[in-house]
Every structure is written in C-alpha cells, then in structure tokens.
A and B are shown apart, each in its own frame.
Chain A
Amino acid sequence: MTITEKILAAHINKKAVSAGELIDVRIDLALANDITAPLAIQAFNEIGAKRVFHRDRVVLVPDHFTPAKDIPSAEQCKTLREFAKAQRLTYFFEVGQCGIEHVLLPEKGLVLPGEVVIGADSHTCTYGAMGAFSTGVGSTDLGAAMATGRLWLKVPESLKLIYHGRLNPWVSGKDLILYTIGDIGVDGARYHAMEFCGEAIQKLPMSGRFTMANMAIEAGGKNGIIEPDEVTLEFIKPRTKRPYKIYRSDRDAHYSDVKEYDVSKIHPQVALPHIPSNVKDVREVGKIEIDQVVIGSCTNGHLDDLRVAGRILNGRKIASSLRLIVIPATQEIYRQALKEGLIEIFISAGGAVSTPTCGPCLGGHMGVLAEGERALATTNRNFRGRMGHAGSEVYLCSPAVAAASAIRGRICHPEEVVRK
C-alpha cells in the first residue's frame, strides 16, 4: 500500500484499503476560514447538530479578509468568533495571534504525521508535507464533519513523482512544483494523491516541502504527500507532545503512474497568465515589466522564504516603477523576521510590510490590481482576475525570483542581481 492508503485504512480501522474504494473516515482535524466557515456553520446548524465532535479538533482561522477589510468581512469574522465561543473551541486565532491557516497549523503543532485533516480551503493539501493525509472540501462537507468527525471519500489512486539529483542555485520547492504542474497540467493529478519523493525532496527544508504539497491542488490533486524523515521530526519536536504515527509506502505499492525528474536540469520557473501550468524557465520569459511584487501567501510566506528574499534585497533598492508588498505568513514568522533584521531590509529596500493575511493572493485587499496591471507573486494561482481586475495579470514564481525582479523592475533570474 501507499502511504496515503495506509493512513486512510488506519482511519477506518482496517488493515487495507484500495484505490477507488468509497470510505467513511474518521478525521483528526477540521479547519475553516473567514470565507468558508460561515457557510459551514450554517450547514452545521441546519443538520441540527448541537456540539462539534471535539472542541480541540475544530479550528477556525480568520485569515482571508482580515484584519476585516470591510463591514461584510467583519460580519463573517464575527460569525466565527461567536461560534468559537459558543462551542468553546480551543483554537480560534484572533487577529494578532493569527496567520495564514496552512502555515499556522503546522507551526502550532496542530497537524502531525499520519493524521487525516480536512479543511474548507483547497490548499489544505499543504499538510501532506508532514506525512499526513489532508485535503480540501467545501463548506457543507465541513459543516457535516464538524458535527460528526467523519467524512466520506474515495481512496485516491497515487501518482509517484521522483526528483533525482542536486538543485541548482536559487532553485526551490516552488520551482520544482511549478515545473511539475507545467509538465502534467492543471488536471494532471485530478483526484490523485501526489507522492513526492527522491533525494532532492529529502534535501528540501520543511518550508520547501510545504510549498510543494500546497500546490498539489494546482495539478488537480486530492492530496500531496511526502514521507516523514529526520527533517520532519526535527520540525515537529518543539511543537507538540501529542503522539503520532509515521507511515511509509511499501516497496510494492501500486501507482497509477510514476514520473521522474532530474532536478539539475530545472532552473527557476515562472507561471505566466492565466493558468498555473503555463510555466517557463525564467530565462525564457523575455522582457516582462511588472507593477507589483508580492512575497507571501500559504505557499511562500515561510521564514525561509523571507530569508531568501532578504538576502537578495539586503542593501539594495527596488525599482522605482513598482511596489513591493511583503507579508509574513504568521505572527511568529513576522516576529522572527523582525528579530533577524529582515523587516528592516524590506522597508529599507522600499517595500511595504503587512501583518499576516491572505490579502492580495485572492484579490481581497492589501494590494489589489487595477486594469492592465501586472503582478509577480510567490502565491499559487494566476487565474484571470485572481488578484484584482479581470484585465490584470499575475505571474507566479519563487521568493528569490520575486525579490530579484523587484530590484530589476522586470522578471529576471536572481543571478542577474546577486551571485550565490
């Protein structure tokens, strides 16, 4: 069996499951945010449920339009706050202690290897980086799961993605996943578990692994998953005392397909509008001038991401023709970045730094684009209108490419700005 199958089998108390089987799994954690929770709470109430299945295991994170950007957003946050209070939820993260859900939950030790996590947010697949099964659902599913602690789902086929070789300078998890999506397409892993492995993955820090699992959904995947190793355990150790279980794929596990990549051939990547699979090597995109650079989001708002950007921006100034917006993904990352002098670097370079929020990633606030404007972002989606006006454009890249391009004023390879 694959790691995905083993985790799912354990959550229906069975020895084995196989791909295609419809199962009713026990979930370890249910998550919703300020956009999806109001509908989930409505569903919860409509079922006639009185109590959530476990008050430690339902987590609400108001991160999308927060600090509340307008009155309707404030009303949505209020709905969450009141529900959290009435249900005596242990984990409701108020502005000031909050962060983008998919970076916040691992940081707080709320997700562990071998667990089943569902969230009313498509990037819930991020936690697969820790060897958990995690997937996004809609609000109704989540409302029902908050009540029952269970979810029906189909055991997915697994797609094995092996990354061999050594990474080139300035190449990160973001580049590997963009390259992969460019290769297999936005529905290349539809309904599948994407199992990332190989020595290049083992060399990746947790931040890079989170980035890769995060974007499994951009290939249509149900979940992304990476077997836990020393790096994973190191990450978990200071964060929790809860017990957990590590699963690994069997040697003879069944895969619907196996893809192998030689990462020494992969260079920094850019996804051009208006679909994440429209990927090119950064040296091949031509002269593309940009109006705004965004460094942040659940994909690339980690401390490591800010460090890379800081290394490039240190002592330099961004082009006068553009705006740079930097958003640490959580308060903890913000604080650490402050300690390390990164925030100082960003501000001195001419950037705007914001409190943690999804903000511009979904065209919510804190950097919405006008018609005809072009943004380069470390986020995960570049669909038409994703960051603002339907006539604007979004290019996706790594923090290194974003920082270097902010200095240049156009999309460029980091080595154009700094030698590694």
Chain B
Amino acid sequence: MILEGRIWKFGADVDTDAIIPARYLNQSDPKELAKHAMEDERPEFIKDVKKGDILLADKNFGCGSSREHAPLALKAAGISCIIAKSFARIFFRNSFNLGLPLLESPEASEAIKDGDRVRVDLDTGEIFNLTQRKKFSATPIPAFMQALLKDGGLIPHLRNKRKKRG
C-alpha cells in the first residue's frame, strides 16, 4: 500500500493526554474526538490537517493511557500513517487494531521536516521525502500486523477469520 501526504512533526514522549485530552472522553464518536486531536499540543493541527497527511514524531509516541480514543481521533482527523523513532506499547497495538499503520524509523524522524511531503510504501517500509528528494527506510511491518492492516483492523480481521471457518 502506498500513502502520500504532508508531514506534521511532533517531539518526543507525546502522551495520549496530548493526543486527546481526557475531558473529551465522556463520549467515543470518532468525529467528535477528531475535533480535539492535539488541541493542547498544537491548536492549528486540527484546522489544517488534510486527509492522508502523515504524522512524524520522536521517541515513545503515544505514551500514557490505554485510550484507543487517541489513534481513533488521529485516524478520524485524516492521518494515514505515523512515523516515529519508537512508539509506546499500548498505542502501537491500538493503532494496528484500528487499521492505522505505524512505522519506526529513527533516521526519518530526525531528517524529515514539518510541512514536507512524503510518500510511504507500507509493504517495504520505504519512506520517500518528496520535498527533500531523500529516501529512508523503516523497520518492516511484521507479517501478522500487515494482515491486520489489509483487513482494515482487528475486528474486520476476526470477522474474516470467522467467515473462512464458516
């Protein structure tokens, strides 16, 4: 799968309270959640983000709570993929379960700038910076996670499995 979009760059240890503050968790409608994504961290994000845009961060992205509302809000805001030096564990699981791909690439995290346009090949883990004309590679996504993404997340994946079993 190939993705292309503008980069939104964030720092290290971005926590789930920053991605979606707890005060909005009294409901779980993705569209409502998306309206407040990154609100305290970077208020202009939600106004300007376009469908397909890509989020870039430093280490330990998504640390903190287990709220699936975090990847859900980013996905509903239009984010197609997140590239970071590393991800917090629960955020990592949640994102793939929702069909939101994550790529780990320390070099891309360092070199790519906010606002750059980037093309990502999820099958190979290759990241191409269209603005700087530079190539980076990410740790390839494990086969098991690839299968989740192809089905669109854990739920459709389990449904497909059930169907196959009849």
Contact = CB atoms under 8 A, between A and B. Distances in A.
Contact of A144 (B13, B18, B89, B158): B158
A46 B162 CA distance: 12
Contacts of A348: none
B27 A76 contact: yes
A153 B58 CA distance: 25
A88 interface: no
Given A35-B67, A136-B90, A70 B26 contact: yes
A191 to B, nearest CB: 5
A381 B67 CA distance: 14
Given A48-B159, A187-B88, A220-B89, A363 B21 contact: yes
A186 B93 contact: no
A288 B137 CA distance: 46
Given A144-B155, A384-B17, A65 B26 contact: yes
A312 to B, nearest CB: 30
Contacts of B86: 187, 190
Given A120-B66, A190-B86, A390-B40, A140 B94 contact: yes
Contact of B89 (A76, A191, A364): A191
Nearest to B14: A383
Contacts of A152: 144
Contacts of A75: 27
B60 interface: yes
B27 A47 contact: no
Interface stretch (A11-19, A36-44, A161-169, A339-347): A36-44
B59 A39 contact: no
Contacts of B97: 138, 140-141
A69 interface: yes
A65 B25 CA distance: 9
A363 B71 CA distance: 20
Contacts of A72: 26-27
Contacts of A22: 144
A124 B13 CA distance: 21
Nearest to B144: A22
A122 B23 contact: no
B60 A220 contact: yes
Interface string B31-70: 0000000011100000000000000000110011111110
Size category of the binding interface on chain B: 35 or more
Contacts of A36: 66-68
Given A363-B22, A364-B22, A383-B15, A137 B90 contact: yes
Contacts of A267: none
A35 B64 contact: no
Nearest to B68: A138
Interface of A: 22, 35-36, 38-39, 42-43, 46-48, 64-65, 69-70, 72-73, 75-76, 119-122, 124, 136-141, 143-144, 152, 186-187, 190-191, 217, 220, 222, 275, 362-364, 368, 381, 383-386, 388, 390
18 contacts: A35-B26, A39-B68, A39-B69, A47-B159, A65-B26, A69-B26, A122-B90, A136-B90, A138-B97, A140-B97, A140-B98, A220-B63, A381-B65, A383-B15, A384-B18, A384-B41, A385-B18, A390-B39
Given A65-B26, A138-B94, A140-B68, 6 more contacts: A121-B66, A122-B90, A139-B94, A143-B155, A217-B64, A386-B17
9 closest cross-chain pairs (CB), A and B: A138-B94, A390-B40, A138-B68, A362-B22, A72-B26, A140-B97, A122-B66, A187-B60, A136-B66
